[in-house]
Amino acid sequence: LLENSLDAGATRLEVDLEAGGARLVRVRDDGAGIEADDLPLAIAPHATSKIRTLDDLERVLSLGFRGEALASIASVSRLSITSATQHAAHASRLELGAGGEASLAPAAHPRGTTVEVRELFFNTPARRKFLRAERTEYGHCEEVVRRLALAHFEAGFQLRHNQKPVLALRPCHGEVEREQRLAVLCGEAFLQQALGIEFEASGLLLRGWVAQPAFSRASADLQYFFVNGRVVRDRLVTHAVRQAYRDVLYHERHPAYVLYLEIDPTLVDVNVHPTKH
Ligand code: ADP
Ligand code: MG
């Protein structure tokens, strides 16, 4: 949902969670919004507004492109979408009834979109059973917000859990504000020990922060890697960084880093991984 907001050009993203997200996930943004006519399409399987030509598919610049998220979420929760575009006379709200039938009605909402997901897996008890404790599920959600906030400094993020504010990150302008956000998300100690890097070669640009060996971790929990703004988990990269630290870190310690790789999007196949990681 947050990726959809970013794709819509949102600069303010608000997330409200209840019961670790199982009772409620609400994402509100100030992005471009969805036309009333398009609302039913947004929840149709494999419907996306992000791919218009075959060329687009060869160089995916948006975070989404498969048109699967809303359709899947709609099939396992009580979903509603309220949205307004710049020029619409009023906002519209699409709501799915218990039987899955959609209803569309006028609503009040500033430009942007609010997606509300209630009672996740209410109709699929087997999957509901696999949800972990509230704390654990909440932790997963917070990590998702954390990663996207590290990848998109230009956007502001707010996170509340059970009505309690957890994160309030304003959009960052300039290096000082980016470092402040880094300290909030990765800890003041990381920032103190981090070296800013920027290196360009062979049409690749690598920038970000790497921690000096004095700051290492007992687990690999502070290792973030982004390719063109997308969170990526890749063994090759993990291994390469490990090798680079080989002579300066004890064997059982893990390096900490936040790295951004910029690369020609035609060279990236975002489809290689089912969850695009
Ligand atoms: P995808 O992101 O792959 O296109 P989704 O199922 O996530 O698929 O979303 C379907 C469509 O709904 C998107 O292509 C977009 O047009 C629209 N949409 C979803 N969320 C938003 C949002 N927050 N703001 C504007 N449009 C949205
Ligand atoms: Mg999407």
Q: Output the pTM of the full model.
A: 0.93
83 Cα to the center of ligand 2, angstroms: 15
137 Cα to the center of ligand 2, angstroms: 21
| Of 24, 1, 17, residue with least CA distance to 112 | 1
Ligand nearest to the CA of 45: 1
58 Cα to the center of ligand 1, angstroms: 19
Q: Are 102 and 95 in contact (CB under 8 A)?
A: yes
| Of 206, 213, 225, 197, residue with least CA distance to 251 | 213
Ligand 1 atom 13 nearest Cα: 48
Which of 51, 70, 113, 148 best tests ligand 1's pocket when mutated (most atoms within 8 Å of CB)?
Answer: 70
Q: What is the mean pLDDT of each run of 10 residues along the chain (277 residues)?
A: 96 98 98 96 91 82 86 95 96 89 95 97 92 96 96 97 98 96 97 96 96 93 93 90 92 94 88 72
d(CA 223, CA 219): 10
Give burial (CB, 10 Å; 0-12/13-18/19+) of 180.
middle
Q: What is the pLDDT of residue 21?
A: 97
d(CA 104, CA 91): 11
